[in-house]
A and B are shown apart, each in its own frame.
Chain A
Amino acid sequence: ETGVTQTPRHLVMGMTNKKSLKCEQHLGHNAMYWYKQSAKKPLELMFVYNFKEQTENNSVPSRFSPECPNSSHLFLHLHTLQPEDSALYLCASSAEPSGLAGGTGELFFGEGSRLTVL
């Protein structure tokens, strides 16, 4: 399997549920990202991980908890969400210039996880 894979593709959850989104990249990249895409709003950066270390938390509420166990896997743990959190959550990866491969920084996205909070 190649590219960036996200599971599940669709998720419906109640406000009291706990669920997780998973992202896996098979590109040998060293940086991974979570973006949120809501209707009629530009994509919003949520979290950045570079070499498994979180380098950016864009003022995201604590009900979203990221986890990056290694440079190929990224999770977004969801807890006590609100209906306004319903959105398409996109994972991306890139090879950064500071990495061994001397990448270009070009981002590659997964297909997204469509989340509906009831």
Chain B
Amino acid sequence: KQEVTQIPAALSVPEGENLVLNCSFTDSAIYNLQWFRQDPGKGLTSLLLIQSSQREQTSGRLNASLDKSSGRSTLYIAASQPGDSATYLCAVSNVQGAQKLVFGQGTRLTINP
């Protein structure tokens, strides 16, 4: 059974710092991995999708990497801003087709002005 772990559970950094959020999964036979952002009381916003054949994806100040063999992904946020404060969720799918994502519990990120 796939399990996804995100460390740390919470992170607080000053504005302007670069930071890394970690995600690990137990079954390396994944189809894809997705990073989401969730603001309090809101739905999830897709940030980046990495297919199993890819090593990384970039969008603006965000860069996500994938190392399937070690069961790890990282989300790198450059030059953090207070607006980046949110909970970041990692999810993996082990099957092609309608996605049965397994989610981690998230990292609650606070960027201090």
Interface residues of A (CB under 8 A from B): 4, 6, 31, 33, 40-43, 45, 48-50, 55-56, 88, 90, 92, 94, 96-98, 104-112, 114
Q: In the complex, how many angstroms separate the beta carbon of A47 from the nearest chain B beta carbon?
A: 10
What are 25 A-to-B residue pairs whose CB atoms are below 8 Å?
A: A31-B99, A33-B98, A40-B105, A42-B103, A42-B105, A43-B89, A43-B91, A48-B99, A49-B98, A55-B97, A55-B98, A96-B99, A98-B96, A105-B93, A105-B99, A106-B49, A107-B46, A107-B99, A108-B46, A109-B36, A109-B44, A109-B46, A111-B42, A111-B43, A112-B43
**Shortest beta-carbon distance, B24 to chain A, in Å?**
14
Task: Tell me whether B31 is interfacial, beta carbon within 8 Å.
Answer: yes
Contact yes or no, A96 B97, CB < 8 A: yes
Cα–Cα distance between A114 and B85 once the two chains are bound (Å): 22
Residues of B within 8 A of A55 (CB): 97-98
Query: Which residue on chain A has the smallest CB distance to residue B39?
Result: A111
Q: How many residues of B contact A (CB 8 A)?
A: 27
In the complex, are the beta carbons of A50 and B44 less than 8 A apart? no
- Assuming the A-B contacts A43-B89, A97-B96, are A107 and B101 also in contact, with contact meaning beta carbons closer than 8 angstroms in the complex? yes
Interchain CA distance A90-B36 in the complex, whole Å: 13
Decide: B49 and A109 in contact? CB cutoff 8 A: no
Q: Which residue of A lies closest to B89 (CB)?
A: A43
Q: Does B62 contact A (CB under 8 A)?
A: no
Q: Are B98 and A50 touching (Cβ within 8 A)? A: yes
On whether the beta carbons of A96 and B43 are closer than 8 Å, the reply is no
Distance in angstroms between the alpha carbons of A106 and B33 in the assembled complex: 9
